[in-house]
């Protein structure tokens, strides 16, 4: 949008960055900074990012410049330090030597087999983004800069080892349960299958639910900050069970906006997921057991 009003802000040209396979390329629906949803092109690691940069001077204007370049940046930004990007990937292609642009000029570019090992991520306190940045350097006047965001998702293979989670928990002489989730690692469209077995029940339970909780950890040491969000509340039992009852669990993950588990991304942040089993008694006391699960993405 910015470039449309370029004239009004004194920018002498319109810059557009077009990817070469836009028709065939998948798009990702992303919540943008203004809170609205938008579509952006979707890539995965090791793909080539190719296209062209088009510079259209406004009628009657010409651009004297000290060079034109395009960069592919992978950046992490903390929201407490907004505007300050940490670049973990930075690739540059020089597009033009110093000179003057009188009329439309088109520069093809190619970043081949780019290492983009991290997924794009929009979190509560941090985001990881990939962006193409075109810069026209000028002397004595500000540079002209144009950005184009794109999104990266990486895919993983199914883990070799994927044990079930089985555990007996409780409060002495009050409540003993055994719960079981069929796996400890789930892909994003997976189903959590399990059951809760009641071994001892001396409290009046009103209902039981499973919460999917996401914990985003940023910073380290004194600056470490954890942000927990409950992404889902899924009721699995209504009423008070007695000893010996077993309650089935079947929770589809697809309706929720989940990301894979991210561990210590570039030593900057982590995103972890937990299943929180919550029992609520008739006095609204809550008993819970939280258990980490690993989420991963497959094709």
Partner 1 sequence: VTAAEEQDKWLADAMALVQHNAFFMHRALDNNNLRDALKYSAQMLSELRTSKLSPQKYYELYMKSFDELRKLEFFFKDETKRGRTNADLYELVQHAGNILPRLYLLITVGSVYIKSKEAPAKDVLKDLVEMSRGVQHPIRGLFLRSYLAQVSRDKLPDVGSEYEGEGGSVNDAVEFVLQNFTEMNKLWVRMQHQGPAREKEKREKERRQLRDLVGKNLHVLSQLEGVDLAMYRDVVLPRVLEQVVNCKDEIAQYYLMDCIIQVFPDEFHLQTLESLLGACPQLQTTVDVKTVMAQLMDRLSNYVASTPDVLPEILQVEAFGKLSTATMKVIDAQPDMPLVGAVSLFVALLTFTLRVHADRLDYVDQVLGACFKKLEGRGKVKDSKATKQIVALLSAPLEKYNDVVTVLKLTNYPRVMDHLDYETNKSMAVTIIQFIMKNNTLISSVDKVEALFELLKELIKDSEGNP
Positions in the binding site for partner 1 (CB under 8 A): 207, 232-242, 245-248, 250, 252, 254-255
Q: Which residue lies nearer to partner 1 by CB, 143 or 204?
A: 204
Tell the smallest beta-carbon distance from residue 18 to partner 1 (Å). 35
Tell the smallest beta-carbon distance from residue 29 to partner 1 (Å). 16
3-class DSSP state for residue 49?
A: strand
Q: Which residue lies nearer to partner 1 by CB, 99 or 239?
A: 239
Q: Which residue lies nearer to partner 1 by CB, 114 or 201?
A: 201
Q: Which residue lies nearer to partner 1 by CB, 201 or 295?
A: 201
Say how far apart CA 107 and CA 280 lie, in whole Å: 63
Cα dist from 126 to 62, 71, 89, 141, 260, whole Å: 40, 22, 17, 33, 15
Q: Which residue is associated with the tokens 């009721």? A: 235
Tell the smallest beta-carbon distance from residue 106 to partner 1 (Å). 44
3-class DSSP state for residue 276?
A: strand
Say how far apart CA 144 and CA 14 lie, in whole Å: 10
Q: Which secondary-structure segment (H or E) carries 133?
A: strand 126-137
Q: Which residue lies nearer to partner 1 by CB, 108 or 244?
A: 244
Tell the smallest beta-carbon distance from residue 157 to partner 1 (Å). 24
φ/ψ of residue 278, rounded to 5? -120, 125
Cα dist from 199 to 143, 155, 242, 287, whole Å: 70, 40, 9, 16
DSSP 8-state assignment for residue 5: G
Handedness of CA 17, 22, 25, 30 (dihedral sign): positive
Q: Which residue lies nearer to partner 1 by CB, 83 or 255?
A: 255
Listed residue (72, 46, 67) closest to 55, CA to CA: 67
Tell the smallest beta-carbon distance from residue 14 to partner 1 (Å). 40
Tell the smallest beta-carbon distance from residue 17 to partner 1 (Å). 36
Listed residue (138, 20, 140, 148) closest to 68, CA to CA: 138
Q: Which residue lies nearer to partner 1 by CB, 72 or 208?
A: 208
Say how far apart CA 61 and CA 57 lie, in whole Å: 6
Q: Which residue lies nearer to partner 1 by CB, 134 or 232?
A: 232
Tell the smallest beta-carbon distance from residue 246 to partner 1 (Å). 7
| Ramachandran quadrant class, 10 (left: phi over 0; alpha: psi -120 to 50; beta: rest) | left
Tell the smallest beta-carbon distance from residue 236 to partner 1 (Å). 6
């Amino acid at each position: 949008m910015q470039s449309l009003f370029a004239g009004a802000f004194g920018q002498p040209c319109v810059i557009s960055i077009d990817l070469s396979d836009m028709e065939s390329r998948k798009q990702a629906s992303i919540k943008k900074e203004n809170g609205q949803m938008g579509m952006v092109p979707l890539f995965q690691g090791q793909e080539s990012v190719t296209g062209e940069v088009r510079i259209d001077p406004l009628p009657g204007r010409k651009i004297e410049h000290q060079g034109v370049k395009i960069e592919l940046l992978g950046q992490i930004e903390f929201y407490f330090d907004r505007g300050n990007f940490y670049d973990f990937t930075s690739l540059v292609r020089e597009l033009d030597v110093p000179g003057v642009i009188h009329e439309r000029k088109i520069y093809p570019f190619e970043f081949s087999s780019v290492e983009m090992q991290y997924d794009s991520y929009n979190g509560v306190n941090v985001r990881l983004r990939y962006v193409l940045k075109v810069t026209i350097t000028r002397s004595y006047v500000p540079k002209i800069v144009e950005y184009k965001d794109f999104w990266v998702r990486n895919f993983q293979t199914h883990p070799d080892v994927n044990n079930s989670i089985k555990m007996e928990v409780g409060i002495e002489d009050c409540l003993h349960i055994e719960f079981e989730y069929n796996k400890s690692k789930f892909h994003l469209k997976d189903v959590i299958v399990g059951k809760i077995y009641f071994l001892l029940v001396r409290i009046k339970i009103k209902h039981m639910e499973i919460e999917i909780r996401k914990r985003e950890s940023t910073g380290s040491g004194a600056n470490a900050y954890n942000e927990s969000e409950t992404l889902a509340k899924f009721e699995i039992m209504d009423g008070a069970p007695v000893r010996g009852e077993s309650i089935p669990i079947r929770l589809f993950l697809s309706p929720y906006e989940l990301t894979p588990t991210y561990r210590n991304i570039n030593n900057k942040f982590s995103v972890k997921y937990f299943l929180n089993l919550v029992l609520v008694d008739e006095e609204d006391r809550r008993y819970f057991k939280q258990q980490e699960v690993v989420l991963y993405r497959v094709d």
